[in-house]
Each structure stands twice: as C-alpha cells, then as structure tokens.
Structure 1
Amino acid sequence: MSDTDRPYLVFSDVDETLITVKSMFDFLHYQLVRRQGAAGEREYDRIMAEITRRATGGVPRAEINRFYYQQYAGESVSTIERLAADWFAERAAAPGDFWIDPTRRALRAHRAAGATLVLVSGSFPPVLAPLAREVAADTVLCTRPTTERGRYTGEVVTPVIGEGKRAAVAAELAARPDVDPADCWGYGDHVSDLPMLELVGRPVVVGSDNELRARLERRSASRAAR
C-alpha cells in the first residue's frame, strides 16, 4: 500500500469509516435494552433526545462526548467489557451490515505491508478493543473514561474528538521520529476528522462528506502551488 520502503503509520477513524454504526450510541442502546428491556429503550431515547438538544443548541462535540460518558457513572468496568464483547459478537455475525469492507480491506493491506496501524476514536476501550483485534491495529487512541475501584466515575480526561484527535495523532507522530508524516495515511468520514487528516500526507475520505473532501482538495492544491 506504500510506494516507499520507509516505515509509515496509518490512522483510521472508526465510526462510519471502518464500521457502519456510531459505536458509542449503538453499544449504549444494546446494553440498555439487553439489561432493562423496554425501560432501557426509554432511557436510551431520553439520553439521545438530550444529546440532540445539546447538539442543536451548538454545544461542542467534545462536551457532548463528556455527557455521553456521564451515563456510565458507577457502572462496573468488567460488566461493560463483557457486554461490549457480546455486542461485537452479535454485530460482527452479520458483517455485511457492520463492516465498511473497503476500509477494512485497506487497513489489512496496510498492515500486511508492514505499516503501523492506529485506530482513532471518541469511543472507549471496551467497544474498540475487539475492532482493533479484527484489523490487527497496533494502537488505539480513544477517549478513556476514568475509573475508581473497578467502576467508571462518569468523567473523562480528554475527549478524542476534533482537535482532540489532532493532538492524539500529533503525539503519536512525535513519538516516531523515524516516520515522515508525508508518508502516512489517514482515513475519515466526517469534517470533524479534518484536524487529524491534515497531519498526514495521504488522507482518504470514506463516504460522501463533500465538505471534508473539498477542504482536503483545497489543502492539496495549496500545497502543490507552493
């Protein structure tokens, strides 16, 4: 997948880039309904209505990310990990409905070519771990909820959203002085992935976000004109 023998990194968003669903919300719905039935469905609707209200009101995505993890305050980490493993097993059993196959194939090809593969997501470790194993990712940069005595506190240190993605990817690149960012690849589906994709020389737009595509094309044209 690379036209150079130099080492390179591949950064990939997850939701709607590697998989068809928004993992945080799909898992939230799964675990609430599995444990609470109809009451869980109502709770999910309540949470999503509040998220929609905040998003419509202009609340930054990073703050919405924080609100999401507040819903896990007091939850057992081991219980969420078990539910996340079950969620993945059920979703992956119908791969045509879950994986975005062109991305999965591309990531596997990069890995086979010797690239270091990094998943980057605002989601959290229990949900992302089985996805990382599937594509043999070396590293996962994600939002990490804080825990105390085996339970989530409802807080996070740094949401890996937008500029949070940029910071996480920049730190990963800085830790690899043997790698030229111009040789590195990035995969994303939404304009919020732009801060991450701007750091690599080979960004790839998954899907049809015209704003993301246009801004990357302008960036490429500007560099070519220099």
Structure 2
Amino acid sequence: MTSRSYLVFADVDETLIHCKSMFDFLRYHLTGRHGAAGAAEHDRLLAGFRQAADAGTPREQINRDYYAAYAGESAATIAAWGERWFADRAAGGLFIDTTRDALRAHREAGAEIVLVSGSFPACLDPIARAVGAQHMLCSRPLVEADGPDNPGGGDTYTGLIETPMIGAQKAVAVRRFLAARPEIDPRDCYAYGDHPSDLPMLECVGHPVAVGDAPVLRALLDARPFPNPLEHQL
C-alpha cells in the first residue's frame, strides 16, 4: 500500500456483503411490514425484474424500476427499516470478511473509503458506518419538494432516482470524484468489484481487485497492463 494519501472504491453487493442489498431489503421490508401480502408483492416485483432482465432490459432501467416501487413512501420510514434490516443481517454474517478486512487495513493506512453501489442510502448508510466509509456514490431516490401545497413532501419518495449507479455510471462517478481530489493520484488508488460490469470502475485506478469467484473479471483484468497482477485477486 502506498505511503501517500489514496482512495479505495468498493462495490458493495457480493463484493463487501454476501447478498444483493436492494432485493434482500425489499423482501425484508415488505414482509416485515405487510406479512404474507408483502411477501407476495415482493415475489411479484422480483418476477417482473427477472422477466425484464431475461428480455434484455438494460440494468439501468431495472434499477429505475426497482425504485419506482417506493413511490409515496416516507424516506424516514424506509431508512428506519434499513437500520433494522442491517442489524438483523449483520448478526447473521452479512459481510464478506476478506473484503471487510482489506478495507480496514486500507483505513488504518490512512485511505478514505468510498462505497460505490446501485443500492441506496437506506441500505448503505449502516454499512458505511460499519466499515468506516467516508463517502458513498450510489443511487439516490428523489423526494417530493416541500411547499405550501405539499407540506412535508420532502420526506416522500417520488419513485424516481438520479442517475442509476450501475455499470459504466460507476466509472463516471469515480472519475468525477477523483477529478475533485487533484491531490490524489489515481494510480495510488484501489478499487474492489466482483462482476464484469465493475471493470470500467476498476480501470479508473492503479490497483484493481477482483473479489470472489469472478473468472471473467479476473481474465479481463489480467489482460490489462496494471502494475501488479497479484493485486487483482481477493
């Protein structure tokens, strides 16, 4: 690890934690709040997402469709359910230990941790606290604007989001983040991912790391002229 200041960008789902947070949380929230009817609604939504994926719908659009399910919900209520979800899942072994340990070592070496995820703050805020991440580049649901005709609207999700933080959008966000930190050399920075779609993000830094059983991603990384191939695996 470098002795200079550096950043560590970490994908979350199946890189830092074992599950896909958005979908695991969706089941937890709907079932916990509405019982059997909530579980049925989760299954209906999930089947729709899978059907869309099988039909070739871009992941960015599926990400948008996911957040449409929260239209009209209170952001504070969803955040509270996110805290409950995290507490329950963390007690059962939520984190991938090798990645969490690596982030801890980076933090102790003076690095800043940046979580990069298509998930949203309701899930990511408690994860960020647990691993000491100072920053998040993620999907952020939009809320209704407060106003005289809509009192309290600032706490209500519209069902829309800003740019989905999926695939190539992760790389765009990482490059913007790095551009805002000119004192940081991207060649000193690290990035962790588990899926071939994470490759554009990993290519933004000098030290990319493929997490888990990701042979396609590792093959893609090995074909790139990075300084040390041994750093491509975790």
TM-score, length-scaled by structure 2: 0.91
State the partner residue of 1:127: 123
Root mean square deviation of aligned Cα: 1.5
Which sections of structure 1, spanning at least 5 residues, go unmatched?
none
Q: Give 1:178's aligned amino acid.
A: E
SS of the residue 1:21 aligns to: coil
Distance in 1 (alpha carbons) for counterparts of 2:166 and 2:205: 17
SS of the residue 1:7 aligns to: coil
State the partner residue of 2:25: 27
Distance in 2 (alpha carbons) for counterparts of 1:207 and 1:24: 20
Displacement of 1:194 after TM fit? 0.7
Aligned partner of 2:82 among 78, 81, 84: 84
* 8 Å contact kept, 2:16–2:95: yes
Aligned partner of 1:157 among 142, 162, 176: 162
Aligned partner of 2:113 among 111, 114, 117: 117
Displacement of 1:20 after TM fit? 0.2
State the partner residue of 2:232: none
Distance in 1 (alpha carbons) for counterparts of 2:219 and 2:143: 41
Distance in 2 (alpha carbons) for counterparts of 1:217 and 1:187: 15
**Which consecutive aligned stretches of 4+ in structure 1 deviate over 2 angstroms post-superposition?**
220-224
Distance in 1 (alpha carbons) for counterparts of 2:225 and 2:66: 35
Distance in 1 (alpha carbons) for counterparts of 2:107 and 2:227: 31
User: Is the aligned partner of 1:189 residue 2:187?
Assistant: no
State the partner residue of 2:182: 177
Displacement of 1:220 after TM fit? 2.5
* 8 Å contact kept, 2:207–2:226: no
State the partner residue of 2:3: 5
State the partner residue of 1:214: 219
Which sections of structure 2, spanning at least 5 residues, go unmatched?
145-152, 230-234
State the partner residue of 1:62: 60
